[in-house]
Each structure stands twice: as structure tokens, then as C-alpha cells.
Structure 1
């Protein structure tokens, strides 16, 4: 199967949006595209059809004309294109795809990432009036089991998360750091490398750079997201630290007392302090 057959014009348009407007790296956009190509393959198989690039391009152009008010007819395709089928999907159709994925024994983290990809794609399509609605608003991300450090007990984890005094900016930062580490399981080195621009709040995810500078999308739990929002509010209202997030980026997400990027060593000292 060729590269065109694996993808769709609408998927490539979405990837261009990620790199051109969201400023995601080409590698990250490619990761989104890989999840969506799996979705395309599933839909094509359900339709018992092969992707015809020319017809799929026509279907996308018809949607774009309709969205611009040009009055293009987007109904009555025989046979239906994969593009139109995907853009017209409802929540039950998405659930069928997720059930298909669950049969392949993906980990909860991988399933959450694929759902985050679909959530981002359909939000983009809905905002551009390419889709009649966003079916992902009715899809919940499955709960993931908390990844606890083996060296400490559950009671110690709860005490650790509650330890920082989040009434000031640095205390709110510490609470955010601990909740993020606990929610995502990322390394301390990955935590301190995060930028403000790496937070995808709409899709409840973080763009994390790991070993070899490889990027991955990591779902962010509700408690960590709440801590992040509280920390952000503290930074933006505190004249001592607000400038750290102003001007050209990237801007360090976790700041030190001088407004610069906090070090991994400082984070580990904080962990020792609160334990």
C-alpha cells in the first residue's frame, strides 16, 4: 500500500495545521498521522473499499467549499469516500473503532494517546466546519492506573502530594510538579525540560521529549491539570515570575526562584524535602 493510500488529504491538512499553526515538530505531527492512518485503514476496511486519492481530494475540496459558504453538495457520494465517512462519524462509530483497538491489547496509555489524537483531529475538523459536529465530546478517556514509585507506600504518596503549600507561586509550582510526575510517570529530566508551549490543555496532554529528543504525547490526569491551572494563575499574577512566560518562547514550564528553568537536581531536592 502506497503512502497516499495509507493517508488521506484531510489527514495531511490536519498535520500541516499541527506544524504550521500549532508549531508542533514534524516528528510529533507524524506521530499524530500514524494514529490517524490506522483509523483510515479501519474505516476503509469497514467500507470494503480502497482509498482513491483523487476522490478523497475531491471530497475534501467539497467540504472546504461548503464550509466557506460556496454551497458545494457534500451528499450523495456513491460509493461513499473514506473522507466523508470519517468526517460524518458519530460517537457510536468512534466507540466501535475503540472497541476494535481494545481487541489488539494496547496498553491504557496507548489507548489514551490514540483517543487524544482523535480528539484533536475532530476538534480541528469541527472548528473548520469540515465535520457537522465533534463526536469526541461524548467520548471519555479511560482511567489509567496510577504509576506509584515502588519505594514508597500509597499513604506516603498522598502525603507527598498534599505537602506543598500552594498559597504562593513556588508552592503551587511544587504541587504542579508532584501531581504531574504522579499522573504521567514521566522522568524528572523530562519534567524540567517541559515548556509552556508543550501543554495541550484542550486535549489534556503534554508533549514530552524523552531520550534521544524523541517526542511523545502523554495524557494528563484531572488532578494534575487542575494543579497546572492553579500554578499558571499564580505565575501570571506574580510580577516576580510573570516575565518568565512573556516574550518570544520557548518558556520554561517549571520556573526556579529566579524565573529561569528549574533543574533536575532542584526537583529531586524538593522530593527529598516533602517525603
Structure 2
């Protein structure tokens, strides 16, 4: 029996939530990409996913290029649709996957942006206020730089996840995978100061176990972290706007610059594949090249 595309999409979303344990953000991206293809199906007069053929998949790819989508965006949309139709194959709704043979455009390698050590010092100076929010902000900056954790991971930290005796933190990453990360003395002191002096005052009558809270005492959300970090950037008079992931990139780059091996950095970042970590070797090589060209007398 034929099923409407929207019902199949709902089933696929449930699969991503329950079996794949994907984050809300990732699921939203899948949903947007697949809904965009459903609109294309309507334009082409295709009423049922069973009628989608390889030609239609190629035509959709052509349309994305005509609309001048970035290569990375096109690649993501094709990947989303390939996964969706693969799921329909698995559920015996379709016999073939029309997107299985569609080649994705090769994405240009973008080197991660990071802060130099002098820039990090300026950020720490700019976050050295002793007011309640100032102590919270300093603790956030110290922890993100000390551990390289994602902002989404930082937002999920509970009080019980911290072990001050061992200076370790239990982190729940992508796919709800857990890992322990280390943090140094600067982050240790900043977090303890925030907990002892400021967190309780900010909490007020709120009752929850999240480590970082907003001005009303509620759990701080990822968008709040971005706002805080941009405030610190403005105060430090640095020209570039910060993306929270820049601190993660900075963490990895500085470790490699100071002699850490790639496998250790991979484990600390929680990367499943070493290839995800290897991009930072290009960053460090670029840094070495710039330093050489700037300082060698016969460069």
C-alpha cells in the first residue's frame, strides 16, 4: 500500500531519534533537506516516492547547482536523501535507492579557524571580571579552551559530571557517547570560583543540576554561549567574530603545536575517525609556514 511522503518522513525521523540517537539539530537538517526534495517532487508531478528514479535524483542535483548552493550544502542534501531512501529500502518500502549512484560534489578543504596564543591571552584578560556573570563567563572560556569540548556538550554538563579531585569531566558527545576529558589548573580554579561564589546567587529559586546557568538561573543554552563569547571578543577588541567551535579548533591546534600526538588529540576531541583530526595537521603546517616566512631572513 502506498504511503504519503510525510508519513514516511515521520517514520524516518523516529528512526533517527531512537535507533541513531542523533541530536535535535542533526535531525532538523535531515528534515529540511528531505522536505525540500518533496517540494521538488510536487513541482515535477511525482506523487509517490516509489516513482522517484535515478533521473529525478540527477535533475534535483542539477537544480541545486542552478540555485548556486555551496558544494558543502549540496553534498549534505544528497547525503540526507541517500540515507532516507536507504531507510526505505531497509523497511522494504522501496526496492532501489535512486540516490545511491548520485555523486556528491567534492568539498573544498577549509582549514579550521583558531586563535593564536596571544589572542587567547587577550580573551582571558577581557573575561577577568569578578561579578557573578563575569566569573561564570571566565569559567566557560577556561573550560572550553582547556578541554576542546563542543558548546552543546558544555551546555549539557551536570554538577555530578565534574571530578575536581582528578580534574576530569564526563562529557556526553554526539550519539550520546560518553568520554572523560581532562582540565588543567586554570580551568579548575575558574570553575570552583564560579561554583562557590556565583552559581548559587545566579540560580535564585531555580532547582536543577546544570553547571552553567543564565542570568535568570535557568540552564544556559548553546545560543547563550555564543552571545557570551562574542561579548568577550568585543571587549578584547579582536576584529573577528567568534564561533564557539573556534575554541575547539584552538584547543586542538595548540596541542599539536606544542608536540601532542594526533591519536591523543583524536581521543580528547572525541573524534570517531582519525581523518577528522588530521585536518589540524594542515593548520599547524600553515602556522609553521607563516612563522617561517615572517621571521627567516632569507625566506
Q: Normalising by the residue count of structure 2, what TM-score does the alignment of the two structures yield?
A: 0.41
Query: Greater relative contact order (Cα 8 A, min sep 6): structure 1 or 2?
Result: 2
Q: Normalising by the residue count of structure 1, what TM-score does the alignment of the two structures yield?
A: 0.44
Q: Which of 1 and 2 has greater Rg?
A: 2
